[in-house]
Amino acid sequence: MTNDKININNEKREFLGGNSCCAYKILGSASCGGSTEFRVWAPNADRCFVFSGGEKFEMQRDGGFFYIKTSADFSRGYRYIIEKNGAVFEKNDPFAFSVNEERLSEVASIDGIKPDILRKNCGVMRIFEVHPGEEFDSLSKTLPPYIKRLGFTHVELMPVFSHPCRESWGYQATGYFSFEYGSPQSFAALVRAFHKEEIGVIIDLPLGHFANDFYGLGRFDGTPLFESADETVSQNRLWGTVNTDFGKPAARSLMLSSACFLADVFGIDGIRVDAAANMIFNRFDGYVSFGGEGDINISAIEFLRVLTHEMRKRNVITIAEDSSAVISSTAPAVLGGLGFDRKQNLGWYHDTSVYFSAPPDVRGTLNSYILKPFSYMNGENYLLPVSHDENSHGKGTLASRLKDEKNQKLLLFYMYASKGDKLLFDGCERGAEAEWNPGAEGRGETPGISGFISQLNRLCDELVPLSGECGEPEFSDGVLTFLRFGTDEDDFVIAAVNASDTDFEDFRIGVDRFADFRMVFSTDESLEGLIYKPAAFSAGGHMFSVSVKLPALSGVLLKPDFIWKNRI
């Protein structure tokens, strides 16, 4: 709750209609003039109390809301005690702005916080994904300059809202307005610190399910208030959580307000919606709905369309983690899509890592894995992720799966040369062999391949074609080649990925421009800057060709240095 002067009755109507973007302004708690106000939505409760320090204070019913204003001391934290049909439920305040070490809600204020607006625009987003793992105040000093040195444009913070176990990823939330790693003021300071370094801030939001802990949202007023009454739908058997029922207006308002809270109060630059497929299907087991394709959740789809619309109004980027393909994530809602700006390409890393983790001498049997992404790259606005999901759960890390540093560099070169924004999980840059575990971030302790990643990030700023369209791939002798196009027909680069164990002194690449080509980047630094002359005979169906040196397990980018116009 805030002390803003707003029409409470109007905002109540918005909340009850499922359309509220700022329910946190009228629900929760707030101190004002020596007293503290509380308002909670519990329409099916018989009685409701605020409990703190061994005392409880009965609240007055106001329709489906309960309200109290009291001068009692709540410095030790509070919970709501809700009575229903003789049963008693102890619940945290879902709209509280703070939670203490005992996991009790705290009376806190966001008054005076001003949104810090950056709204960074760039050709290719390069996102550094981080599990916060420590207090915001500490992160503010170390993380922004670290990410700046690596050359990333954005940081994606894994869930920052309150969750029961700090040693977890944070996807089982118990609060949607209170932070796990500090106060609202310290989170605002963290956003400012990133923005000072010109780094956009993206927050990972688990809106589709919540923690099953007794003090969380589940059966909040003694009834399934924010979840379905059908336990085959509400109980998430995969994660042990409770699925949000977006058919209920209060649930929609709560989750929509949570996203808008981050944008309107703090000025964040983007949100990633976790496990969108779990929202799109009523019954989901991690891969497909076990209720079948007819089990699509229309209410959740409509919610996602409203969410992306509201974020677009605020110039906030939206990213879908959606493993389904029944509806386009990035097509506009008017064309039947969900309206997200980006969709994480969850299959890309699987296919790519299968290929690059195989020994070079057997990769020839796995060509389909590296060619497959080209067949659907234009189906959505994709983000290519090497995310936390691909560095955990027994899958190993980028370094442990690919082992050889040349191999790691080659996969990342292929990723950066390919069409799509990029995401890299914390630890990949330093060659972390062990999967993530709490308190073991160790940023900067070993350089790993961080210098190489900085080079790749710099290339995205320097080479316009790396933010443009992609040509058809060609594959020969274990070498993949493809073009990236810039703003005109003479502005392009050729990417060549030699994933074989063969050194080529003169690998011939077909081109449609009779031009000198400069090697503007190579994973083998000794080759950078070399000029290659064109040949006036065809190769691979192209009118002209150029022969380049291509060592084993290397990748190169070639850019026209001089185009002979009379030979075009």
Q: What amino acid positions are annotated as catalytic residues?
A: 274, 321
> C-alpha angle with apex 531: 530 to 532, nearest 5 degrees?
120
Assign 536 to helix, strand or coil: coil
Give the Cβ contact number of residue 404 at 10 Å: 12
Strands 474-476 and 270-273, sheet pairing: unpaired
Alpha helices in 441-497 (DSSP H): 450-462
Cβ atoms of 150 and 429 within 8 Å: the answer is yes
Cα–Cα dist 43/251, whole Å: 13
Cα–Cα dist 208/217, whole Å: 12
For 164-233, the DSSP string reads: S-TTS-S-S-S-SSSBSSS-HHHHHHHHHHHHHTT-EEEEEE--SEE---TTSSTTTTSS-SSS-S-HHH
Contacts of 178 (CB under 8 A, 6+ apart): 96, 97, 98, 99, 105, 106, 108, 161, 162
Cβ atoms of 215 and 247 within 8 Å: the answer is no
Q: Which two tokens stand for residue 287?
A: 């891969």
Strands 200-205 and 270-273, sheet pairing: parallel
Cα–Cα dist 137/474, whole Å: 50
Cβ atoms of 485 and 516 within 8 Å: the answer is no
Give the Cβ contact number of residue 311 at 10 Å: 24
Q: SS3 helix, strand, coil % of the chain, rounded to 5?
A: 30, 25, 45
Give the Cβ contact number of residue 142 at 10 Å: 14
Cβ atoms of 548 and 516 within 8 Å: the answer is no
Reported as half-sphere exposure (CB side, CA atoms, 13 A), residue 70 has a value of 19
Q: Count Cβ atoms within 10 A of the Cβ of residue 46 and give its class: 0-12 exposed, 13-18 middle, 19 or more buried.
A: middle
Q: Determine which helix (DSSP H) or strand (DSSP E) holds 40, and give its type and residue range.
A: strand 35-41
Cβ atoms of 558 and 493 within 8 Å: the answer is yes
Q: Which two tokens stand for residue 30?
A: 């707030």
Distances (CA, A) of 485 to 239, 314, 455: 43, 31, 20
Strands 421-425 and 126-130, sheet pairing: parallel
